[in-house]
Every structure is written in structure tokens, then in C-alpha cells.
Structure 1
Amino acid sequence: MENGKITRKNPSSMPAPVGNYTHITKIPRNTELFVTSGQVGVDQDGQFPNTLNEQVTNTFMNIKTVLGSEALCAENIIKVNIWATEEIDWEFLYSEWDQLFSNDYPAMTIGYIAALGLPEIKIEVEIWAAKV
């Protein structure tokens, strides 16, 4: 029987997550699903900062804005995909991450790739969210 809530688990039969994420997230039946395009570090003026960390800050602001446009918040996020073209400063990214999430982390995938859609983009974050 579905409990009508999004649930997150780290099965005890497998290694603990190596970062701030959850191994599996379950959404109940008849849940409304939202998938964002990859959010990037562009600012309100259409400019990309030069550093990855500045782009991370803008990306998280853009994530909050796009979620807010549908009355969604961090607890609705079920999956995050992150792509970066250079090494992520995890201490910095997690400081932004933890402002969005408390300890109720979604599932997450991270990949390092050679390039994103435009040469100036250093990070792109795709969000999957669900509203029960």
C-alpha cells in the first residue's frame, strides 16, 4: 500500500552513499512528475561568470527559481543529475546543496564531461521532482 509520500532509503545491505545523496527514492502512484532542463550558471543578465563556483551559485539560484515557478521545493526533488567540465569543489557545491536540502537528500548522479552546450558553461544540473 502506498503511503502517499516520497520516501528515500539507503539499504543496509549495501555501502553507504559516498556523498550527500540517497541510493533510492520512491514516489507513490498517481504522483505528478516534473523534469527540468539542465540548469546552468547564467545570471539574470544572460552572463556566465568565469569560475565554476560562481556558476554553481547561479545554477542553484536558477534551480530554486524554476522549482518555485511550479510551487515545488527541495522535498519534491527526487533525482539530480550533475555534469561538469572541470573538477567540482565539493566543499563549495555542498554548501549550496545543503542550503537547498537538509539531510533528506535525493538520488544523484555526477559526471565529468569534455563540454556542455555552450563553451562558457562549466556545470549543468537537471532536476526531477514529484508532487504528491
Structure 2
Amino acid sequence: MSNQNRIREVRKAQKLSGPEVAAKIGISTQYLYDIERGKRGLSAEIAGKLSDILRVTTDYLLRKTDENLYEHNRNTPDSHEESELAEIPIEKLNSFKLSYKGTVLSKEESEDLIKLMEMTLKRWKS
């Protein structure tokens, strides 16, 4: 089985459609299917995006390992889209991998952001 076939395998196991994944990456569905079939190469940028969307390491996607050590998969809830954030209690945000403009925040940055949000809400409510 080729590197690309693992992408399709993981995508289907997570019940994600090709068009859904392609839209999240910003590529055409046909381009994604070509990657899955090995007809097109996989750039580092697209591999990274696929890794985040599918919540697996790039090494796992590329069959460099059979272990999936993606930290988001270990005891954390599913990822959420920006539109869903209003439904997550602030005190639970620390269990998520937070990002800003495509860059994942460090644990310290995430903690600072959560504290800032809590302080702001307390100020608004008083």
C-alpha cells in the first residue's frame, strides 16, 4: 500500500468525505483524490494540513511509522471549527490545541489567552 493510500484509509475511517477534506485544505477534490491514488506528489504544506485535519502525524500518514502519536488524539476532545467556539466553556479551552491564523499556540500562550478571556469577561460582568 502506498503512502497516499493511508490518507484515504484514515479519511474514510473518520467518515470524512473527499470534498470536505479538500475544502478544509484549500484544494480541489480531484487534486486530493489524485494524491490519495499516488498520481500527484504530496507537498509538505498539504501533508501538514492533512495531518491536522485527520489528527494524525505526518510520519503516520507517510507510513514512516505505524504509531500515531499526534498529541491531539490523546485524551482530548475532537477539534472544533471557529464557528463552534461559542459553545465551548472557557474553562475547558485548555483541553484543546488552540491556534491563531494557522499557527498553533504554545501551552503558555494558550493559558495566557484563556486568562485574558476570563479577566475580560469578569470585567464586563461587573
Given the two structures, how large is their TM-score scaled by the length of structure 2?
Answer: 0.22
Greater C-alpha radius of gyration: 2
More helix by share: 2
- Which structure has more RCO (C-alpha within 8 Å, separation ≥ 6)? 1
Given the two structures, how large is their TM-score scaled by the length of structure 1?
Answer: 0.21
